[in-house]
A = this chain, B = another copy of it.
Protein backbone atom coordinates (compact mmCIF):
# COMPACT_ATOMS: atom_id res chain seq x y z
CA UNK A 1 0.00 0.00 0.00
CA UNK A 2 1.52 3.34 -1.01
CA UNK A 3 1.74 6.13 1.56
CA UNK A 4 -0.88 8.07 -0.41
CA UNK A 5 -3.35 5.19 -0.25
CA UNK A 6 -2.59 4.80 3.46
CA UNK A 7 -3.38 8.48 3.98
CA UNK A 8 -6.69 8.22 2.13
CA UNK A 9 -7.66 5.15 4.16
CA UNK A 10 -6.70 6.88 7.42
CA UNK A 11 -8.68 9.98 6.46
CA UNK A 12 -11.80 7.92 5.86
CA UNK A 13 -11.31 6.10 9.16
CA UNK A 14 -11.00 9.49 10.90
CA UNK A 15 -14.19 10.74 9.22
CA UNK A 16 -16.00 7.55 10.23
CA UNK A 17 -15.04 7.90 13.89
CA UNK A 18 -15.90 11.60 14.06
CA UNK A 19 -19.27 10.77 12.43
CA UNK A 20 -19.93 8.06 15.02
CA UNK A 21 -19.39 10.62 17.79
CA UNK A 22 -21.94 12.92 16.14
CA UNK A 23 -24.44 10.09 15.68
CA UNK A 24 -24.10 8.92 19.29
CA UNK A 25 -24.65 12.47 20.54
CA UNK A 26 -27.84 12.65 18.48
CA UNK A 27 -29.02 9.31 19.85
CA UNK A 28 -28.31 10.36 23.44
CA UNK A 29 -30.37 13.49 22.83
CA UNK A 30 -33.27 11.46 21.47
CA UNK A 31 -33.05 13.01 18.00
CA UNK A 32 -34.70 11.15 15.13
CA UNK A 33 -33.02 9.47 12.15
CA UNK A 34 -32.64 12.81 10.34
CA UNK A 35 -30.90 14.29 13.36
CA UNK A 36 -28.55 11.30 13.59
CA UNK A 37 -27.57 11.71 9.96
CA UNK A 38 -27.19 15.50 10.13
CA UNK A 39 -25.04 15.40 13.28
CA UNK A 40 -22.91 12.58 11.81
CA UNK A 41 -22.22 14.60 8.64
CA UNK A 42 -21.65 17.91 10.43
CA UNK A 43 -19.32 16.44 13.07
CA UNK A 44 -17.27 14.53 10.52
CA UNK A 45 -16.99 17.19 7.84
CA UNK A 46 -17.69 20.53 9.54
CA UNK A 47 -14.11 21.31 10.50
CA UNK A 48 -12.78 20.77 7.00
CA UNK A 49 -15.63 22.75 5.47
CA UNK A 50 -14.91 25.71 7.79
CA UNK A 51 -11.21 25.55 6.81
CA UNK A 52 -12.02 25.44 3.09
CA UNK A 53 -14.52 28.31 3.31
CA UNK A 54 -11.86 30.42 5.04
CA UNK A 55 -9.01 29.64 2.65
CA UNK A 56 -11.38 30.00 -0.30
CA UNK A 57 -11.28 26.48 -1.69
CA UNK A 58 -14.77 26.24 -3.20
CA UNK A 59 -16.53 23.92 -3.20
CA UNK A 60 -14.97 22.47 -0.03
CA UNK A 61 -13.21 19.11 -0.40
CA UNK A 62 -16.12 17.44 1.42
CA UNK A 63 -18.33 18.40 -1.55
CA UNK A 64 -15.97 17.18 -4.25
CA UNK A 65 -15.61 13.49 -3.47
CA UNK A 66 -18.72 11.46 -2.78
CA UNK A 67 -17.05 9.07 -0.34
CA UNK A 68 -16.65 11.98 2.10
CA UNK A 69 -20.44 12.25 2.28
CA UNK A 70 -21.12 8.51 2.20
CA UNK A 71 -18.82 7.51 5.08
CA UNK A 72 -20.82 9.55 7.65
CA UNK A 73 -24.01 8.07 6.16
CA UNK A 74 -22.53 4.63 6.84
CA UNK A 75 -21.50 5.65 10.35
CA UNK A 76 -25.01 7.00 11.04
CA UNK A 77 -26.50 3.72 9.86
CA UNK A 78 -24.18 1.66 12.06
CA UNK A 79 -24.94 3.86 15.06
CA UNK A 80 -28.67 3.77 14.33
CA UNK A 81 -28.83 -0.02 14.60
CA UNK A 82 -25.88 -0.89 16.81
CA UNK A 83 -25.53 2.08 19.18
CA UNK A 84 -25.45 0.01 22.38
CA UNK A 85 -22.51 -1.98 20.99
CA UNK A 86 -20.78 1.14 19.68
CA UNK A 87 -21.25 2.97 22.97
CA UNK A 88 -19.63 0.02 24.78
CA UNK A 89 -16.56 0.39 22.54
CA UNK A 90 -16.07 3.84 24.06
CA UNK A 91 -12.33 3.56 24.75
CA UNK A 92 -11.60 2.08 21.33
CA UNK A 93 -13.57 4.91 19.74
CA UNK A 94 -11.63 7.47 21.78
CA UNK A 95 -8.37 5.99 20.51
CA UNK A 96 -9.53 6.25 16.90
CA UNK A 97 -10.81 9.75 17.63
CA UNK A 98 -7.33 10.70 18.89
CA UNK A 99 -5.88 9.32 15.66
CA UNK A 100 -8.37 11.42 13.69
CA UNK A 101 -7.41 14.46 15.76
CA UNK A 102 -3.71 13.98 14.94
CA UNK A 103 -4.40 13.34 11.28
CA UNK A 104 -6.75 16.27 10.67
CA UNK A 105 -4.45 18.67 12.54
CA UNK A 106 -1.72 17.80 10.09
CA UNK A 107 -3.75 17.70 6.88
CA UNK A 108 -5.49 20.97 7.82
CA UNK A 109 -2.24 22.79 8.56
CA UNK A 110 -0.56 21.53 5.38
CA UNK A 111 -3.54 22.52 3.21
CA UNK A 112 -3.59 26.04 4.67
CA UNK A 113 0.17 26.39 4.07
CA UNK A 114 -0.38 25.17 0.49
CA UNK A 115 -2.92 27.94 0.03
CA UNK A 116 -0.32 30.49 1.09
CA UNK A 117 -1.50 31.30 4.58
CA UNK A 118 1.01 32.34 7.25
CA UNK A 119 2.35 29.99 9.92
CA UNK A 120 0.12 31.18 12.77
CA UNK A 121 -2.94 31.12 10.51
CA UNK A 122 -2.12 27.66 9.16
CA UNK A 123 -1.68 26.27 12.67
CA UNK A 124 -5.03 27.79 13.69
CA UNK A 125 -6.74 26.30 10.64
CA UNK A 126 -5.20 22.91 11.41
CA UNK A 127 -6.83 23.06 14.83
CA UNK A 128 -10.07 24.27 13.22
CA UNK A 129 -10.08 21.28 10.86
CA UNK A 130 -9.67 18.90 13.77
CA UNK A 131 -12.03 20.42 16.34
CA UNK A 132 -14.46 22.52 14.28
CA UNK A 133 -16.84 19.65 13.53
CA UNK A 134 -17.12 18.78 17.22
CA UNK A 135 -17.84 22.42 18.06
CA UNK A 136 -20.65 22.53 15.48
CA UNK A 137 -21.98 19.20 16.86
CA UNK A 138 -22.18 20.67 20.35
CA UNK A 139 -23.80 23.90 19.15
CA UNK A 140 -26.51 22.04 17.23
CA UNK A 141 -27.05 19.55 20.07
CA UNK A 142 -27.21 22.47 22.53
CA UNK A 143 -24.37 21.17 24.71
CA UNK A 144 -21.66 23.27 26.27
CA UNK A 145 -18.88 22.82 23.71
CA UNK A 146 -16.76 20.01 25.07
CA UNK A 147 -13.60 21.72 23.88
CA UNK A 148 -14.13 24.54 26.38
CA UNK A 149 -15.74 22.67 29.25
CA UNK A 150 -13.77 22.66 32.48
CA UNK A 151 -12.54 19.38 33.93
CA UNK A 152 -12.47 17.57 30.60
CA UNK A 153 -9.33 15.83 29.37
CA UNK A 154 -7.18 18.02 27.10
CA UNK A 155 -8.25 17.88 23.48
CA UNK A 156 -7.55 21.19 21.75
CA UNK A 157 -4.24 21.85 23.49
CA UNK A 158 -2.51 18.79 21.99
CA UNK A 159 -3.90 19.98 18.65
CA UNK A 160 -2.58 23.53 19.18
CA UNK A 161 0.89 22.38 20.21
CA UNK A 162 1.12 19.92 17.33
CA UNK A 163 -0.01 22.34 14.63
CA UNK A 164 2.22 25.11 16.01
CA UNK A 165 5.22 22.76 15.92
CA UNK A 166 4.38 21.67 12.38
CA UNK A 167 4.00 25.27 11.18
CA UNK A 168 7.33 26.10 12.85
CA UNK A 169 8.98 23.14 11.11
CA UNK A 170 7.65 24.50 7.81
CA UNK A 171 9.15 27.91 8.58
CA UNK A 172 12.50 26.25 9.33
CA UNK A 173 12.18 24.38 6.02
CA UNK A 174 12.43 21.01 7.70
CA UNK A 175 11.29 18.14 5.44
CA UNK A 176 7.50 17.82 5.73
CA UNK A 177 7.64 14.11 4.87
CA UNK A 178 9.19 13.65 8.30
CA UNK A 179 7.64 16.53 10.25
CA UNK A 180 4.04 15.76 9.25
CA UNK A 181 3.86 12.17 10.55
CA UNK A 182 5.86 13.15 13.64
CA UNK A 183 3.36 15.93 14.40
CA UNK A 184 0.39 13.59 13.89
CA UNK A 185 1.86 10.95 16.19
CA UNK A 186 2.75 13.63 18.75
CA UNK A 187 -0.85 14.97 18.84
CA UNK A 188 -2.22 11.42 19.11
CA UNK A 189 0.18 10.51 21.94
CA UNK A 190 -0.37 13.77 23.85
CA UNK A 191 -4.15 13.36 23.57
CA UNK A 192 -4.08 9.71 24.71
CA UNK A 193 -1.79 10.62 27.62
CA UNK A 194 -4.19 13.43 28.59
CA UNK A 195 -7.06 10.91 28.60
CA UNK A 196 -5.17 8.35 30.69
CA UNK A 197 -3.81 10.90 33.17
CA UNK A 198 -6.87 13.17 33.12
CA UNK A 199 -4.88 16.27 32.33
CA UNK A 200 -7.18 19.30 32.16
CA UNK A 201 -6.79 22.94 31.14
CA UNK A 202 -6.95 25.52 33.93
CA UNK A 203 -9.88 27.83 34.53
CA UNK A 204 -9.29 31.55 34.93
CA UNK A 205 -6.76 32.32 37.63
CA UNK A 206 -8.09 33.37 41.02
CA UNK A 207 -6.03 34.65 43.92
CA UNK A 208 -6.18 32.18 46.82
CA UNK A 209 -8.07 34.61 49.06
CA UNK A 210 -10.72 35.19 46.36
CA UNK A 211 -11.58 31.55 46.11
CA UNK A 212 -14.04 31.33 48.96
CA UNK A 213 -16.25 33.98 47.46
CA UNK A 214 -16.55 32.32 44.05
Stretch of A91-99, A146-154, A185-193 on the interface side: A146-154
A33 in contact with B140 given A60-B54, A121-B69 (CB within 8 Å)? no
Instruction: State how many angstroms separate the Cβ of A76 from the closest Cβ of chain B.
Output: 10
B residues in contact with A157, CB < 8 Å: 34
For window 50-89 of chain A, which residues contact chain B by CB distance below 8 Å? Answer: 53-56, 58-60, 63-64, 66, 69-70, 79-81, 83-84
15 contacts between A and B (CB under 8 A): A27-B203, A31-B144, A32-B148, A32-B150, A32-B202, A34-B157, A34-B201, A35-B145, A36-B148, A54-B63, A69-B121, A69-B124, A70-B120, A84-B206, A140-B148
Q: How large is the interface on A (under 10, 10 to 19, 20 to 34, 35 or more residues)?
A: 35 or more
| B54 lies within 8 A of A149 (CB) | no
Taking the full assembly, how many copies of this chain does it contain? 3
Residues of B with C-beta under 8 A to A31: 144, 148-150, 203
A142 interfacial by beta-carbon distance below 8 Å: yes
How far does the Cβ of A55 sit from chain B's closest Cβ, in whole Å? Answer: 5
Per-position 1/0 for A148-170, Cβ under 8 A of B: 11111000110000000000000
* A151: nearest chain-B partner, CB-CB: B32
Q: Which A residues between 168 and 214 are near B, CB-CB below 8 angstroms?
A: 200-206, 210
Residues in B whose Cβ lies below 8 Å from that of A30: 150, 203
